[in-house]
Amino acid sequence: MNARTVVTGGKLLANLLLAAFSVFCVFPILWVLYSSLKNQAAFSRNIVSLPSSLHFENYSKAFWDGELYRYLGNSAFVAAVSVVLTIAIGFVTGYFLSRFSFRGRNALYAMFLFGMLVPTYGLLVPLFIEYRNLHLLDSRLSLVLPEVTFALPLVIFLIESFMKSIPTEMEEAAYMDGASLTSSLFRIVFPMCRPILSTCVIISFLNIWNEFPFALILINTQELKTVPVGLTNFVGQYTVDYPQLMAGINVSILPVIVVYLLLYKRIIQGMVAGAVKG
């Protein structure tokens, strides 16, 4: 055995290791995907085989009888309102933090950084009490403020570091032409930030869509629950029917998977930048 075969063998082994891990990552998801089209009898005969007949009724049942349509609608509503607010507030805050120095700037910056580090789950109990005392529990808008708050730091930091990379000339020119701060902010700067803003939209959407513990404690009414919490109800109802369960899981992650497959480059970039910043 000479050196060359050892090297080739090493490369082969490395490629195999990589492939094995990719399979390990994706197979559980695929398994849930194709098994969801079986019926329980076929599934219990052989848990890994591909379905021999397709049972799409699992999906209509999950969607309608399992009330996933309702949870999807609620999640879409909460996500839409929260993302718009997050972007608006995050953009303005990030802009002022990066462009100007003012008294309290560092304190404000530290506060948002603290927001990325603090284990938000420590706020579950007190936030519940605060909401209960102010009668804010159990409304269609209950989740908006917490979702915005937890999505905000990442957006602020992404905008802030993006602003550092673009020169001030355009804003100066706008002032020369007599534009006000507000119009320069929204007519000039906002469009320039479009690439980073779209990254912010996608990542906040994913985080808000996936958020579980606050949705669990702040919403009690069945009709107002979001997907992750609604899914736990659904799973509780169908514990014995595995393919049915899997269909429900798939319906609930479909939006996430679609967004990911369309935009994975942006998502990966933005999440890594945000993570390393924190």
Using CB under 8 A as the binding rule, the residues of this chain from 72 to 111 that contact other proteins are: 89-90, 92-93, 96, 99-103, 108, 111
Judged by CB under 8 A, does residue 231 bind other proteins? yes
Judged by CB under 8 A, does residue 29 bind other proteins? yes
Judged by CB under 8 A, does residue 148 bind other proteins? yes
Q: From residue 33 to residue 52, what is the string marking binding to other proteins with x (rule CB under 8 A)?
A: ----------xx--xx----
Tell whether the torsion through CA atoms of 83, 86, 88 and 90 is positive or negative: negative
CB of 259 to other proteins, least distance (A): 8
Q: Compute how many other C-beta atoms are within 10 angstroms of the C-beta atom of residue 38.
A: 26
Judged by CB under 8 A, does residue 129 bind other proteins? yes
Candidates 24, 50, 53, 178; binder of other proteins (CB under 8 A) is 24
Q: How far apart are the C-alpha atoms of 143 and 229, rounded to whole Å?
A: 13
Which residues in 190-209 contact other proteins (CB under 8 A)?
A: 206, 209
If the CB atoms of residues 112 and 224 are measured against other proteins, the closer one turns out to be 112
Chain centre to alpha carbon of residue 45: 37
Judged by CB under 8 A, does residue 178 bind other proteins? no
User: Can you tell me whether residue 20 is helix, strand or coil?
Assistant: helix
Tell whether the torsion through CA atoms of 89, 75, 111 and 277 is positive or negative: negative
Q: How far apart are the C-alpha atoms of 156 and 182, rounded to whole Å?
A: 18
Tokens 């891990």 sit on residue: 21
Give the binding range for other proteins (CB under 8 A) out of 51-59, 63-71, 191-199, 230-238: 230-238
